[in-house]
Amino acid sequence: MTLARRDFVRAVGATALLAPFAGFLQSDRGRAQDARVAKRLVVFFTPNGTVHRHWRPIGEGTSFSFPAGSILEPLAPHQSDLVVLDGIDFVGTSNHEGGMAAMLTGNGTDAHESRGMSVDQVVADSIGAGSRFPSLELGVQTSAWGGNVQTRMSYRGPGQYVPPDDDPIGVHRRLFGGLSPMPDGGMAMADPRVLRRRSVLDAIRGDLADLSRRVPASERRKLEAHTEALRRSELGLAGAIVGMASCDPTPAPDTGAPLDNDRFPFVGRAQMDLLITALSCGMTRVASLQWAHTVAPQVFSWLGVSEGHHALSHMDDANEAGVADFVRTERWFAEQFAYLLDRLSELPEPDGDGRMLDHTLVVWAKELGDGRLHECSSVPFVLAGANRAWSTGRYLRLGGVPHQKLLVSLCHAMGLPNRTFGDPSHGTGPIEELFA
């Protein structure tokens, strides 16, 4: 049997594109046999660090509590679903920009196993290929300053930003704009214009595979990135049949102008609801929600606060009123995280095995430790869900663990076998205490 030239080139091209990431990939069969592996990853980011004495729980291990009035107190109803991590250091990294760039990449470069990608994108490459959206990036007022190291957290490679969508109406259009009803109550991508556009992309990919062999090595990386972008676009255009009755299109959210300061809470709530819909309908298995960006200027006027979040994050302990206002804003973020966990707890896992939260790893990430010092030491992280991957209901004092080990741990919770993430000179392997 003879394989057509175009089919052969396409098969070889796909193998070449995936080869650099072979160390991260694990077959769906292997994942399905391991009940300890989480099925979904959600990254939830809020900016400008913390004030540790108002953030830290009391106690440690499985015996801990959230003090009254503390930043994490709104998470008390979900305590049994959490792993609170204290003592994660971004080694060799400082300040807002450095912390933002390193947070999900571990300061990786092309020379490292993760090739400078962020952890959400590496996981998406492993588990997202069968989804309509390999990953879904949502934002809340992230782009008023454009796309730069301060405003972006997801990377396809060094300097290759994955921009979040700040407009819930645009997100709603992406989720439901090309779907039409199916007889069984589900939805399918049926617009013939989408199918025609898909065939055009197939033809272009074939030409690019031919071109790849002729361009200089210095240009091949750019060509591969472009081909990968086309592949991701094709998956999004092609879609998949979504067989859940609960996936009927919801009304487009009415959030007003998404960049208006006072619309911040409404945009964020709409984005969380859309994120939950995308996960529960099987549209994606990897999603992120980025609230603003480092040095975020938003004024939490809905709380009666009159100074911007970044300014509040630098209030000295002597300014008790200023610190109290910052704590109020951080408690508000904790309430939003709790809302996300509430929704995932309420929804049953589609196959009937517990709650969606049981099979979803939700990571609350920050880019700084004490924002007043511009330090990336003892950066606060809260992990939720994924209770099959490790024991939850714990507060771990880690005393300066390199955050590269945290990123490896997140990969292992998602079923990836890699031993390093980002710059391995700062640490390899997972955080053993997490899996104890």
- At 184-225, the pLDDT tens digits run 444 444 444 444 444 445 555 666 666 666 667 656 665 665
Whether the Cβ atoms of residue 318 and residue 333 lie closer than 8 Å to each other: no
Q: d(Cα 280, Cα 277) in Å, to the nearest integer?
A: 5
- pLDDT tens-place string over residues 282-336: 999 999 999 999 999 999 999 999 999 999 999 999 999 999 999 999 999 999 9
Whether the Cβ atoms of residue 107 and residue 93 lie closer than 8 Å to each other: yes
Q: d(Cα 101, Cα 107) in Å, to the nearest integer?
A: 7
Bridge partners for 242 per DSSP: 187
Q: Where in the chain is the domain with CATH 3.40.720?
A: 34-177+249-435
Whether the Cβ atoms of residue 164 and residue 293 lie closer than 8 Å to each other: no
pTM as predicted = 0.82
**Residues with Cβ within 8 Å of residue 42, at least 6 apart in sequence:** 275, 279, 286, 287, 288, 289, 340, 360, 361, 362, 363
In 3D space, the residue among 97, 46, 98 whose CA is nearest the CA of residue 72 turns out to be 46
Q: Write the CA distances from 50 to 99, 103, 128, 377, integer angstroms.
A: 13, 15, 33, 11
Q: Please report the DSSP string for 3-63 in residue order.
A: PPHHHHHHHHHHHHHHGGGGGG---HHHHHT-TTS-SEEEEEE--S-B-HHHHPPEEEBTE
- pLDDT tens-place string over residues 243-287: 333 477 888 998 889 999 999 999 999 999 999 999 999 999 999
- Listed in sequence order, the DSSP H helices in 177-216 are 192-212
CATH assignment of 34-177+249-435, given 2.130.10, 2.20.28, 3.40.50, 3.40.720? 3.40.720
Maximum distance among all Cα pairs of the chain, rounded to whole angstroms: 79
- pLDDT tens-place string over residues 63-100: 999 999 999 999 999 999 999 999 999 999 999 999 99
Helix (H, G, I), strand (E, B) or coil at 364: strand
